[in-house]
């Protein structure tokens, strides 16, 4: 059973072709190892070994893959793709040129934070003023419930950090 650095164990199953059964069966990964190759490679890489066991015939098979470390360009590209999850952006376009990456962002012509504040006020009090309604309509929303919620990031680390921050907001608990 594979272990993480913190000592927790995990297992994963998938359907794979068993070389002994000659059919697709449920297989469980019972070991995962990462090691450096005998000779250094360019770009940097490491070997990933998974030991799979077939649930029907108990055949054990070791699968070895060479995994290359992502380049700086690939890491930047992935980060740019996640920006739309973190912020209120209407449209993004990314293109790659030989010397770099072109990233275009189309932002809304209004302050989405202010629009969401109007929405929150409408939920709390049940009414808004005419000038606030006009701001909503200029932003393209007919009523406060039409305002989309703030996008939530898909990154688990960011979600955990935000949940941890929310724990310390508010009134202290009584003893």
Average pLDDT value for residue range 50-62:
89
Question: Are the C-beta atoms of residues 54 and 27 closer than 8 Å to each other?
Answer: yes
Would 76 be classed as within a structural domain?
yes
Q: Write out the residue range of the structural domain in which residue 33 sits.
A: 13-68
Would 157 be classed as within a structural domain?
no
Question: Are the C-beta atoms of residues 128 and 111 closer than 8 Å to each other?
Answer: no
State pLDDT tens for residues 138-150.
888 888 888 877 7
State pLDDT tens for residues 69-125.
888 888 888 888 888 777 778 788 888 888 878 889 888 778 888 888 888 888 888
Q: Same domain, yes or no, for 93 and 62?
A: no
Q: For the domain that residue 25 is a member of, what is the CATH number?
A: 2.20.25
Measured CA to CA, the distance from residue 159 to residue 164 in angstroms comes to 9
- pLDDT band for position 48 (cuts 50, 70, 90): very high
Average pLDDT value for residue range 56-78:
88
Looking at residue 49, its pLDDT comes to: 92
Residue scoring higher pLDDT (156 or 28): 28
Would 167 be classed as within a structural domain?
no
Would 113 be classed as within a structural domain?
no
Render the burial of 117-145: b for 16+ CB within 10 Å, e for the rest: ebbeebeeeeebeeebbebbeebebeebe
């Amino acid at each position: 059973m594979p272990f993480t650095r913190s000592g927790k164990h995990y297992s994963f199953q998938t359907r794979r072709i068993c070389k002994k059964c000659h059919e697709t069966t449920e297989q469980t990964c019972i070991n995962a190892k990462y090691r450096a190759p005998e000779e250094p490679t360019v770009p940097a890489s490491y070997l990933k070994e998974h030991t799979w066991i077939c649930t029907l015939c108990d055949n054990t098979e070791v699968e070895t893959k060479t995994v290359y470390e992502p380049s700086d360009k690939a890491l930047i590209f992935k980060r740019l793709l996640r920006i739309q999850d973190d912020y209120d952006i209407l449209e993004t376009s990314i293109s790659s040129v030989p010397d770099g990456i072109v990233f275009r962002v189309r932002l809304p012509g209004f302050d989405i934070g202010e629009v969401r504040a109007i929405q929150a006020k409408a939920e709390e009090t049940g009414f808004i003023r005419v000038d606030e309604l006009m701001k909503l309509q200029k932003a393209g929303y007919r009523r406060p419930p039409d305002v989309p919620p703030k996008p939530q990031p898909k990154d688990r680390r960011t979600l955990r950090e935000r949940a941890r921050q929310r724990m310390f907001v508010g009134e202290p608990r009584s003893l």
